[in-house]
Amino acid sequence: MAVIELTQENYQKEVIESDKPVLIDFFATWCGPCKMVSPVVDQIANERPDIKVCKLDVDKNLDLARTFQVMSVPTLVAMKNGKMINKIIGAMPKAQILKMFD
């Protein structure tokens, strides 16, 4: 499944109304660790059709970043039924990211 570019405009539909768990990757284009975790997030999107994967550019979507109290990037958030179930900060291996949904 393709990674969805998340914005304020599509957040309600893609995250709150999603019938699947959602992984949100809060990133910035200038962030080195974000560039390291991005291919891992892409892999999850390709390998796990049961998880909707979204990326959110914090510089373009400050309000959503504030809503999730994102203080540093990358921040990865796991959502289920419109509610945050887990949050990790920093570049993490795929196995640790997937454990957010256990």
Catalytic site residue from 4, 24, 31, 91: 31
Integer Cα distance of 23 and 4 in angstroms: 10
Catalytic site residue from 15, 34, 76, 92: 34
| 54 part of the active site | no
CA-to-CA dists, residue 10 to 15, 43, 62, 64, angstroms:
8, 23, 15, 11
Cite the active site residues. 31, 34
